[in-house]
């Protein structure tokens, strides 16, 4: 790992000013993606601003069906939260299957969505739930937030503070994990929200996480795995790599969507 | 350089380290506690697992400076005059061959037993296998590790 300067921020405003003062700063939370990336010399930030200890970025609350998760909340905390299990078990179960137990003890929801790895799980959940991402500067809808592969609508030095969404009537995630990395080869989050059925796909699209309009239309008014059977999922726009070609991923998307709907 | 202080295996320790020092480097090179191993160095294998504030983490994917003020337990901190029940279980069940992955396996095992215990959940064989997702052993084929952890869990419950 190249040299870097570490800073521990105690508030969101301090994190923003530390990032502003840094030459090429990066926010550090659990570090479960960033530190391995730095070790591999694929990133070399001049400064690291640790946000993991900031109180307003930690914890989960459920008030009047609105779920709010602090950006620095770990996967293990999300997985084990009783109020969230009740309000939206689909998100807690998703978190329980990210990586491995040691990774879940440090990795955070904010870090995952800021990185927007196309094979990460949380982006699909937030997109399907129509979540809102609150930063130090503004609120961004999930539809606007996830821009492309490893790309988000975040500006330089912008800090995600929390994620919130309305508890859905139904929500479930099904993924086919790469057996080695546990990242999704294809993962589908299906949710029945007040805005209707919403379906988001992780791991498979060649431009990152996306919503599947045909599946949403099929599920509106007919929430069943059978409704998915009639939807055609083509290989166009699917990732193709050593782990699976586009046609294989297209098939997986349909199978995972069926499992997600059947699971809730 | 940043001055880092933490409690490791119950003892306060302090050192000036470069900010890019990994927790595992700090443990092995500054403290000379070489029971914690570096296997893959890409956070896949789990040979470097230690407990950070009571939770299993991969010390090769954690900065020493970020652990400032923390309470860390390594494999050297488990035995208390005599072997920890989980260590005894690994010995009795032949839960190791070359032993390289064993410190990480045992730190992961004691963490999972504590978590399942705290949540009142049963640590079944299937759960043990699922919980070992982040620990790789290239010798044993895992069967005896799984047996050792089940045995260690009951030894811990009765000790």
Encode pLDDT of B92-146 as tens digits: 999 999 999 999 999 999 999 999 999 999 999 999 999 999 999 999 889 999 9
* pLDDT tens column, A194-215: 999 999 999 999 999 999 999 9
For CA atoms A104, A107, A110, A111, the dihedral sign is negative
Q: Looking at A107-237, which runs of residues are DSSP E strands?
A: 132-135, 139-141, 146-148, 151-152, 160-166, 170-177, 184-193, 196-202, 210-211
> Would you say residue B41 has pLDDT above 90?
no
For range B144-154, the mean pLDDT? 98
Mean pLDDT for chain A overall: 97
pLDDT at residue B5, rounded to an integer: 98
* pLDDT tens column, A4-35: 999 999 999 999 999 999 999 999 999 999 99
Beta bridge partners of A60: A69
Instruction: Please list every residue in chain B whose beta carbon sits closer than 8 Å to the beta carbon of residue A3.
Output: 18-20
Domains of chain B: 2-77 (3.10.20.30), 85-158 (1.10.150.120)
> Would you say residue A193 has pLDDT above 90?
yes
> Would you say residue B159 has pLDDT above 90?
no
pLDDT band at A181 (very low <50, low <70, confident <90, very high): confident
A152 closest CA partner among A160, A144, A163: A144
For range B55-64, the mean pLDDT? 98
* pLDDT tens column, A115-164: 999 999 999 999 999 999 999 999 999 999 999 999 999 999 999 999 99
Q: Is the ipTM of this complex over 0.90?
A: yes
Indicate which of A47, A48, A54, A101 best probes the interface with B, i.e. most B CBs within 10 Å of its own CB. Answer: A101
Instruction: Please list every residue in chain B whose beta carbon sits closer than 8 Å to the beta carbon of residue A105.
Output: 52, 55-57
Calculate the alpha carbon distances from B91 to A153, B86, B94 in Å: 53, 9, 5
Q: For chain B, what is the largest distance between any 2 Cα atoms, rounded to a whole number of angstroms?
A: 46
Check CB contact of A5 with chain B, cutoff 8 Å.
yes
> Of all helices (H) and strands (E), which one includes residue A205?
none
pLDDT at residue B149, rounded to an integer: 98
* pLDDT tens column, A62-96: 999 999 999 999 999 999 999 999 999 999 999 99
The residues in A 115-174 lying below 8 A from B, measured between CB atoms, are none
Residues, chain A: 264
Q: What is the DSSP string of chain B?
A: -EEEEEEETTEEEEEEE-TT-BHHHIIIIIS--TTS--SSSSSSS-TTEEEETTEEEEGGGSBTGGGTT-EEE-GGGT-BSB--HHHHHHHHTT--SS-SSHHHHHHHHHHHHHHHHHTT----HHHHHHHGGG---SSS-SHHHHHHHHHHHHHHHH-
> Would you say residue A264 has pLDDT above 90?
no
Please state, in angstroms and rounded to a whole number, the distance separating the CA atoms of residues B151 and B159.
12
Please state, in angstroms and rounded to a whole number, the distance separating the CA atoms of residues A63 and A166.
10
A249 closest CA partner among A218, A215, A205: A205
Beta bridge partners of A199: A190
**Who among B22, B42, B134 is closest to A99 (CB)?**
B134
CB contact under 8 A, A2 and B58: no
Instruction: Please list every residue in chain A whose beta carbon sits closer than 8 Å to the beta carbon of residue B111.
Output: 101
Query: If you search the block for the tokens 């939370």, which residue do you land on?
Result: A29
Q: Nearest CA of chain A to the CA of B108: how many Å? A: 8
Check CB contact of A106 with chain B, cutoff 8 Å.
yes
> Would you say residue B73 has pLDDT above 90?
yes
A60 closest CA partner among A109, A100, A101: A109
Domains of chain A: 5-166 (3.30.465.10), 171-262 (3.30.390.50)
pLDDT at residue B80, rounded to an integer: 87
Q: Are A116 and A150 in contact (CB under 8 A)?
A: yes
Please state, in angstroms and rounded to a whole number, the distance separating the CA atoms of residues A74 and A103.
9
Q: Nearest CA of chain A to the CA of B132: how many Å? A: 8
pLDDT band at A182 (very low <50, low <70, confident <90, very high): confident
Check CB contact of B119 with chain A, cutoff 8 Å.
yes
Check CB contact of A16 with chain B, cutoff 8 Å.
no
What token pair was written down for A168?
Answer: 């859905």
pLDDT at residue A62, rounded to an integer: 98
Residue A179: closest C-alpha in chain B:
B133
The three-state (H, E, C) secondary structure of A212-235, written as one string: CHHHHHHHCCCCCHHHHHCCCCCC
* pLDDT tens column, A210-258: 999 999 999 998 999 999 999 999 999 999 999 999 999 999 999 999 9
């Amino acid at each position: 790992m190249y040299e870097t300067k570490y800073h521990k921020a105690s508030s969101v405003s301090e994190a923003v000013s530390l990032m502003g003062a840094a030459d090429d700063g990066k926010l550090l939370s659990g570090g479960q993606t960033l530190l391995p990336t730095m070790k591999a010399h694929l990133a070399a930030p001049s400064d690291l601003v640790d946000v993991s200890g900031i109180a307003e970025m930690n914890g989960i609350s459920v008030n009047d069906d609105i779920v709010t998760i602090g950006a620095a909340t770990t996967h293990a905390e999300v997985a084990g939260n009783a109020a969230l299990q009740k309000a939206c078990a689909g998100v807690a179960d998703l978190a329980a299957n990210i990586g491995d137990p040691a990774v879940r003890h440090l990795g955070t929801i904010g870090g995952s969505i800021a990185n927007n790895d196309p094979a990460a799980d949380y982006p699909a959940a937030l997109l399907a739930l129509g979540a809102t991402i609150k930063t130090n500067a503004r609120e961004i809808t999930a539809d606007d937030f996830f821009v492309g592969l490893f790309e988000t609508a975040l500006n330089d030095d912008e800090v995600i503070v929390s994620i919130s969404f309305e508890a859905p009537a139904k929500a479930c995630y099904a993924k086919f994990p790469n057996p080695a990395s546990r990242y999704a080869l294809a993962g589908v989050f299906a949710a029945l929200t007040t805005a209707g059925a919403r379906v988001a796909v992780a791991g498979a699209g060649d431009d990152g996480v996306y919503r599947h309009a045909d599946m949403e239309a099929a599920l509106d008014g007919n929430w069943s795995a059978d409704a998915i059977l009639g939807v055609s999922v083509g290989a166009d726009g699917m990732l193709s790599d050593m782990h699976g070609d586009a046609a294989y991923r297209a098939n997986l998307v349909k199978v995972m969507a069926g499992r997600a709907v059947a699971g809730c | 350089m940043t001055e880092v202080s933490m409690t490791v295996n119950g003892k306060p320790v302090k050192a000036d380290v470069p900010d890019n020092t990994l927790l595992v480097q700090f443990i092995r090179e500054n403290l000379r506690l070489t029971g914690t191993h570096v296997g893959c160095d890409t956070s896949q294998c789990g040979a470097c697992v230690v407990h950070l504030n009571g939770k299993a983490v991969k010390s090769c994917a954690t900065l020493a400076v970020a652990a400032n003020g923390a309470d860390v337990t390594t494999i050297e901190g488990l035995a208390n005059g005599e072997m920890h029940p989980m260590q005894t279980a690994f010995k009795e069940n032949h839960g190791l061959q070359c032993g390289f992955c064993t410190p990480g396996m045992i730190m992961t095992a004691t963490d999972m037993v504590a978590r399942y215990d705290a949540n009142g959940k049963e640590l079944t064989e299937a759960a043990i296998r699922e919980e070992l997702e982040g620990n790789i052993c290239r010798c044993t084929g895992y069967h005896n590790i799984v047996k050792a952890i089940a045995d260690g869990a009951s030894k811990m419950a009765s000790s």
